[in-house]
Structure 1
Amino acid sequence: MTDLRDGTSSAGHVSVESDRSTASSDAAASTEATATETVVLDLDDPRATDRDVVGGKGAALAIAANAGCPVIPGWVVTVYGTRQIDGEGIDVLEAELQEAWRGGPVVVRSSSVVEDGDEESMAGRYETVADVTTVEQLRKAIATVLDSRTNVADDTPDLEPQHDIAVVVQRQIDPTWSGVAFGVDPVTGRPDRRTVAVVCGDPDDLVSGTVDGDTWITDADGAVVTEPEDPETDPGDDLIAAVVDLVNEVGERFDGPQDVEWAADADGTLYLLQTRPVTTEVTAVPEGPELGTGPIAETFPSGMAALEVDLWVPPLREGIAHALRIGAVASDGDVDASPVLVTIYGRPAVDLELFGRSDRNRSPIRDRARRVVASWRLGRLRAALPAAGRRIARRTDEELGQLGPLEDYADEQLLDLLHRSRDVLRALHGHEVLTGLITDPSGNELTGNGVALRLLADARRRGLTDAEAIVREPAILSLYAPRIGGEPDLPEVTDVPDRPDRTTDPEAPGVVREALRMRVRWVHELQARAALVLGRRLHDRDLLDQPTAIRHVRLDDLCASVRSGTAPDLQPPPADDALPSRFRRGADGTIVPLRSGNGDDGTGAGGGTGRGKPFVMDDETEVDDIPDGAVLLTAALGPELAGVLGRLEGVVAETGSPLSHVAILAREADVATVVGLAGAREDLADAESLVVDGGAGTVERSTS
């Protein structure tokens, strides 16, 4: 904003080329003039509701003023008027400005025809000039606003430097409180939420992004849902509710949610400073449980195709449900009422409320989880679970060892193998989850990932290909996610130090859990290879274009195709976009992202404390791009990270569990790790430096 209290302006004057034309004088003087030929219009003039005449901001204020909303009185130099200034200089409107002037101070703002539209607001792009107290200052202020078009045009394709613009002039107020408010949640698009940001004084610093202000989230009626932590302002609940009422009223007038700038003076009088359509995509009112990728993000870091979903998701869902019941982490009624595990466009998500990771009921679930740990300490589970886990692991090994070459199996035998192996997965998952409930996240057990990395490094030193290494040492499979078809994507490692301090006691719950997880991965691989054999056979019979297309066939359709000799239906590929770390679904299935309950609700996964510059990992990032000494911000702890952990200062994941493969491996490498910190990539990417405390589960910004 430019301040004209000293009577000067940093912007250049618009040149004066000639006296105003007779035509423009006659048009301004004529009471019969149309809006498009009028130089000045009051905001309460119905003709000022046309954005082609007064620009987007002016039209919005005029519509609100004519509807009775509390708009500060003012007037607009129309597009027709500024065109004359562009052509002939500011003096061309001398008479009209003198006549419209009603004393100061006033605020002079832009109102471009491309401003405050449905798709783009252009907020803050043009100059605003405050403290204008004379006509001479008004002339300079108008020139400043018009000159600011050049910078906007430089940054906006297909926009001419002298594009159409009007200028809004309003009485300046001295507010006690001000801010912005949204008729939906601007982050999630939830239509049942309102967001009110508040600062002391005028809203310029808030709108420009210089300060954050304090933010209240309310329901549609103004009842506070979330308050700011350690607020610097105290506007009171009544003012917050009044602002929400204003946002709702303006939304009704404009037939859609609005982004509103507002101000309130000392006696509580509320003013509408500006309104524009919310550019956030409006989603839906969420219902049902809080979902998220949570503890399964590492097992399935990318989307699964149809056959992968059918083979791997039902056993995992049933295993989780069984473990939660046996462990008393959730009641039978809670489990029966929950989806437990869902897939959305091939992306899996769990019911976070069952795992104690929901903001809605975190404490009760954690209380039940603590009772499981107490039972373990009392010895009721101490003997049973590790012994049962070892038995299942041995039985799985025996069944896998009895298998012959898959190419020797008949089609029906392969189909039977796919079905029976799902029962094996169900048992493995159930015991693995239950054992995880009693495993100390800070334990010192040797990890499956650590073993696999050492085996891979040794195989490469001996000159083996990755495929040969996997055949010789199947434990290496744990280093990449399961998939039907495709080549193994293994990390680049050449040497991994031994960790003799790690526990290898087969009775230790952590060791048993790692053994069960390893068997899960082996069964996944068995199913993937069996399916691929069937894919090659269907391809040879001209029923599939390529063998790997088998992953896009539902299991029932695959059985029918094999038995009938008809081509199977192919399902759409999985979605490329990852799911939000926390979300609920609308009645129509819409994904509604949820805000995290607070800014530091991550879970410590150990590794001590680390400090470094943040580096954001997205879907396009290669692990070789990750710089040494960085604090990695990632959606999930995928297996591809195993080979780079040793050169990082810290890892912060938006999803995941302290008991995941890579989290355990990070502890093994003494890398500070925090998991389950929703929104970390967006919220922390701009930090100069981050301090990660893997014990406390906190991530703090630092300037050194």
Structure 2
Amino acid sequence: MIPLWRSRKNPPEGIQLALTAGSGHQHLHVLTLMSDESEIAEWAGGKGRNLHTLTVSGFQVPSWSVIGLDIFAEFARGTGLDERLDRLLADGPGGRSPEAAAATATEIAALIRAAPLDERIAAALALAYRQVGGGVVAVRSSGAQEDGTEHSFAGQFDSFLNVHGLDQVTAHVRKCWASAFSERSLRYRAQRGLPPDTRGVAVVVQRMVSAERSGVLFTADPMTGRTDRHVVSAVHGLGEGLVSGAVDADTVVMDAATGRPLSTVIGGKQERYDAGAGLGCTVSPVAEEDRGTLSLTAEDLARLHSAGLRATARYGSPQDIEWAIADGTLWILQSRPITALPCAAGIAPEAEGELRLWDNSNIIESFGGVVSPLTYSFAADTYAKVYESYARALGVRGDRLREVQEWTPHLLGYIHGRVYYNLHHWYRMVRLAPLYRLNRRVLEKSLGVSESISDESADALHPFRPRPGMRGRISRLSRTLTFAGRFLAIGKSVDAFHRDFYRVYEEFNNVDYDALRGDETYRRFCRLQRELIEKWGPMQVLDATILLSVGVLALLTRRWLPDAPDWFTWAAAAPGGDVESAEPAWALAELAARVRADDQVRRLLERTRDADAHRALRDGGHTEVLAAVDAYVADYGYRSPDELKLEVPDLREDPAGLFTLLREALPGTAGSGQEGRGGETDAYLDRHLRGPRRWVYERVRGKARVALADRERLRFCRTRAFGAAKRMLRAMGRDLAGAGAIESWDDVFMLRLGEVRGAYEGEIAHAELKELTALRRRQLATDATLHAPSRFTTRGAPYWSGNLERAGWAGGPAARSGARELRGTPCCPGVAEGPAVVTDTPREIGGGILVTYRTDPGWVPALSSAAAVLIERGSPLTHVAVVARELGIPTVVQVKGATTEIRTGTLLRVDGAAGTVTVLAEPSADGTAVNPDSRRTETHP
């Protein structure tokens, strides 16, 4: 575990006693938001795990700590209670009479109440209370299997509100421990065939909120099972009366997609249904003077609806959410799956079949938003070829290779026009290399995956059926040795690949494909796939090298530099020097400097539309600047926003976007005046790590830095390969349009790659294509209106059996919750203050704080005019994040809700080291910040 005092020079009194190993004792886990996810998963119980997930996902959650399962185990072991529990529960409650079961529960409760607490246990409970600030708290049981997808254990364990003082907290912790063995919880287990669990329960200690309004939110109708409905029940004040049934609650049924109220029940008496709600009910009108006052405002309902959408998307299933509103803030107290959802008319029951886990993490860096069928199918085909080739490069052959070929074509999924990782297959791919446990953790960090899968699930995933016995060990050893050889020679392999790539690439780049016959262009396209893309497989050893070296570097940092900040490992691994991926930003800064030096050119660009700027430079005789612009386009024209989306024109086809970025760079704000973090990292290492450890650390660090730099070189190759494919497919589109097969040349993007091939290989009739492309355009337009969850699960066929409805796919934008502070993953340290620029395109930054849902490599030039960068999705190894570190721009990634909660003009304070984003002032009615000139950037060594 990571001790809670790690960030302090001297541990507070009592923490060492409670938590550190000594005199043969094991660690005891008092868990908080800063604890490792693996520790949370093992020791926090279901309620504790969900609180951690909610907090790191950006929900407003009252401060909490968890008294881990192992603390009860230590209590039971130290008092001899564990042996007595084993004897009392030996037969289980199912085989006993009700009287005997009740007697067992009573005896266990008495034992727990009377057993003494040793010094370490008492100190741990005191620490948990202090971690939430003392005062008035809630004490809640958190069973190991509680709030799960199969068994909720709802109401089986005890929770207590308004507990004050350490003595009362200790007494109620004992009551929570005892509730794990109550008659009702033992009966619950017996009825479901679950054996008694002598681990007891973890206990959550959570700060109480002085609620003005509180209640529960179901993101599916618990009575009918309809997933197109949200149901809110609310009362004034705290929610004890609601839970106990002593108070009649206000109930509002909302449309799950839009949040529009469909029906309202006030205090269980009056009802009001909106016209056209479609509920199939007839309700007599209620006189206005007879109606009560609804406890929830329209803003409250909007925030609850938004929170419900986010929670459903986050967990991938309908949720039962406890909430409270205090001082204008919506607090989420806990969230659990609805495990007993009935089947509504017209709504399919829970699907059965293969479990698939979909996550868009950093795939949206390459394929953001709705993408065309041609883009998806070309990408999926490319991934399949590359990773099959990777398996071959590691020596996978025969039946095992055929098993790999079953899942490599499905590394990506296409759900309502969006591209997702089919994540279980990526775990299978990582397992081709050695050190799977380490590499899969780093894979999750590098992809920006917000939640790890369990060790049990991960261990069940294999690229092919493992061979038993000696034959299997020899096979694994052979693959490990092959990987080791490629790992050690990866630098030379990358250099050789670069030489061969650019030699072949020149043959494809210097061709006018519109001058060729369509079938000839198609043949060249097949060659491009064969000679450039399929040879990429062995280079995936580089990704495995990054996972391995960064993973080892993180382990060394954790062990040898325990006080290092969260961003340190990523900064230590940063390539440094001349990183190829930063070249567009530097080149744009040089181009801007050239324009600034010529007042006439500057004035021309400032008053000319982007679409007309190139022609205006030519007509004005500004040949030198025009030549510099053309040189930039020639060198970096394929490196443009959404560069991997085939339907999006790049700068070579439409240079207008370059002039937008150039105009923003003219004030000369490049890099916010900062330098990269290499010197700062070295200085920290000089102060804290010396001798043999420093030598080992630098060897691992050097491998990671070189590998990351090589990856950026390969990404330029990928960009150019996709750029060549983009030109070819556009030419084929014009050829098909000329032949009358499609209405317009850009209809080619509505076809899948196999259909384009079929048109040239005689596998599909041209007469089919017009109707097909029209259908696809209509479908994509509909898909674009849907709210797309970032992560969800399906079973069986994803589009059927209500899979996507349960996953939270819905229409309409998400509502704001009003959060004043957001958290994310620290990526590059430094503090910046300034107005937010929320955008989905790399434009109009102007020295503000760039806030976006996702980025792609084409955003790199925009960094030169950003004071700080906030990315809702992505990871510390996202392309833009790597470059931002090189430029020294404060950066935070995985900022949940950033583009929902923050509006353009909002005055922000970004702390790139802490990973926090603070709202200082909301924009005025005209969208400008209250103090738009309050821009400040600091660095912290």
TM-score of the superposed pair, with normalisation by structure 1: 0.55
- Whole-Å Cα distance in 1 between the matches of residues 317 and 861 of structure 2? 44
**Equivalent residues in 2 for 1:25-104, closer than 5 Å:** none
Q: Counterpart of 1:298?
A: 365
What is the match of residue 271 of structure 1?
none
2:574 counterpart letter in structure 1: G
Counterparts of residues 158-307 of structure 1 (less than 5 Å): 164=288, 166-168=290-292, 187-188=311-312, 193-197=318-322, 205=325, 209-210=328-329, 212=331, 214-220=333-339, 288-307=355-374
Larger Rg: 1
8 Å CA contact retained: 2:834, 2:907? yes
What 5-or-longer segments of structure 2 have no aligned partner?
Answer: 1-230, 236-242, 271-285, 295-303, 428-442, 462-479, 551-569, 595-623, 679-701, 815-820, 922-941
Which residue of structure 1 lines up, in the alignment, with residue 859 of structure 2? 641
- The separation in 1 between residues aligned to 2:514 and 2:735, in whole angstroms, is 10
Equivalent pair of 1:453/1:476 in contact (CA under 8 Å) = no
Tell me by how many angstroms 1:450 deviates: 1.8
Name the CA shift for 1:210/1:297 in 2 (closer, same or farther; >3 Å): closer
Q: Deviations over 1:621-680 (max 9, x none)?
A: 6721x46342x3321123453233234343222322333331122112211223334434
Partner residue of 1:361 out of 447, 450, 453 = 453
3-state SS of the aligned residue for 2:365?
A: coil
Change (3 A) 1:434 1:348: farther
User: Residues of 2 paired with 1:183 and 1:523: CA distance?
Assistant: 42
The answer to which structure, 1 or 2, has the higher relative contact order (CA under 8 A, 6+ apart) is 2
Which among 713, 718, 721 is matched to residue 523 of structure 1? 721
C-alpha spacing 1:191/1:536, structure 2 compared with 1 (3 Å): closer
How far residue 428 of structure 1 moved from its aligned partner, in angstroms, is: 6.1
Q: Does 1:623 align with 2:623?
A: no
Whole-Å Cα distance in 1 between the matches of residues 527 and 518 of structure 2? 14
Give the match's secondary structure for 1:402.
helix
Listed one character per residue, the Cα deviations across residues 374-429 of structure 1 (whole Å, up to 9, x for unaligned) are: x99x9855532222222222212111223443245433332122223233554465
Gaps of 5+ in 1: 1-56, 62-68, 75-108, 129-144, 146-161, 171-179, 200-204, 222-247, 257-280, 369-374
Q: Which string of whole-angstrom CA distances, capped at 9 and with x for unpartnered residues, describes residues 165-194 of structure 1? A: 533599xxxxxxxxx999988842789644
Q: Which is further off, 570-579 or 391-400? A: 570-579
Q: Is 1:572 matched up with 2:776?
A: yes
Partner-residue secondary structure (3-state), 1:674: strand
Partner of 1:140: none
**Code of the aligned partner of 2:916:** V
- Kindly state the Cα deviation for residue 502 of structure 1 after the two structures are TM-superposed: 10
1:296 offset after TM fit, Å?
Answer: 2.3
SS at match of 1:492: helix
Q: Is the 8 A contact 1:324 1:434 kept in 2?
A: no
Q: Secondary structure at the match of 1:438?
A: helix
Q: Is the 8 A contact 2:253 2:264 kept in 1?
A: no
How do 1:524-603 residues align onto structure 2 when only pairs under 5 Å count?
Answer: 524-562=722-760, 566-567=766-767, 568=769, 569-570=772-773, 572-573=776-777, 574=780, 575-576=783-784, 579-585=788-794, 587=796, 588-589=798-799, 590-591=803-804, 592-593=807-808, 602-603=824-825
- The 1:634–1:304 alpha-carbon spacing in structure 2 relative to 1, beyond 3 Å, is same
* CA offsets 1:474-502 (integer angstroms, 9 cap, x no match): 56535651324634444613576899989
Partner-residue secondary structure (3-state), 1:633: strand
Aligned-residue identity in percent: 16
Q: Are 1:448 and 2:580 matched, yes or no?
A: yes
Question: Is the Cα contact below 8 Å between 1:192 and 1:285 reproduced in 2?
Answer: no
C-alpha distance in 2 between matches for 1:349 and 1:301: 10
Q: Does the CA contact (< 8 Å) of 1:191 and 1:282 recur in 2?
A: no
Q: Contact conserved, 1:303 with 1:346, CA < 8 A, in 2?
A: yes
SS at match of 1:303: coil
Please report the TM-score for the alignment, with normalisation by the length of structure 2: 0.43
Indicate if the aligned counterparts of 2:736 and 2:745 stay in contact, CA closer than 8 A: yes
Does structure 1 residue 610 correspond to structure 2 residue 831? yes
Deviation string, structure 1 residues 536-558 (Cα, Å, up to 9, x no partner): 22223333322222222233333
* Alignment check: 8 A CA contact 1:184 1:282 kept: no
Question: Who is 1:259 aligned against?
Answer: none
Paired residue secondary structure (1:300): coil
The 2-side partners of 1:548 and 1:466 are apart by 31
**Aligned equivalents of 2:890, 2:307: Cα separation in 1:** 40
Alignment-derived partner of residue 472 in structure 1: 634
RMSD (CA atoms): 5.5
> How many Å separate the matches in 2 of 1:667 and 1:523?
26
Tell me which protein shows more helix as a share of its residues: 2
Structure-1 separation of matches of 2:852 and 2:404: 31
User: In the alignment, which residue of structure 1 is the partner of 2:912?
Assistant: 693
Q: Does 2:503 correspond to 1:398?
A: yes
1:238-295 per-position Cα deviation (integer Å, ceiling 9, x unaligned): xxxxxxxxxx8xx99xx79xxxxxxxxxxxxxxxxxxxxxxxx999779733322223
Q: Distance in 2 between matches of 1:671 and 1:455?
A: 17
Letter in 2 for 1:473: D
CA contact (8 A) 2:836 2:851 kept: yes
Q: Which amino acid aligns with 1:552?
A: M
**Whole-Å Cα distance in 2 between the matches of residues 650 and 535 of structure 1?**
41
Q: Per-residue CA shift, 1:53-94, capped at 9, x if unaligned?
A: xxxx9x999xxxxxxx986599xxxxxxxxxxxxxxxxxxxx
Does the residue aligned with 1:508 lie in a helix, a strand or coil?
A: helix
In structure 2, do the counterparts of structure 1 residues 410 and 612 end up closer, same or farther at CA, with 3 Å as the change threshold? same
Distance, in Å, in 1 between the alignment partners of 2:423 and 2:316 is: 23
Partner SS for 1:644? helix
1:518 positional shift: 0.9
Contact conserved, 1:318 with 1:430, CA < 8 A, in 2? yes
Distance 1:507 1:580, change over 3 A: closer
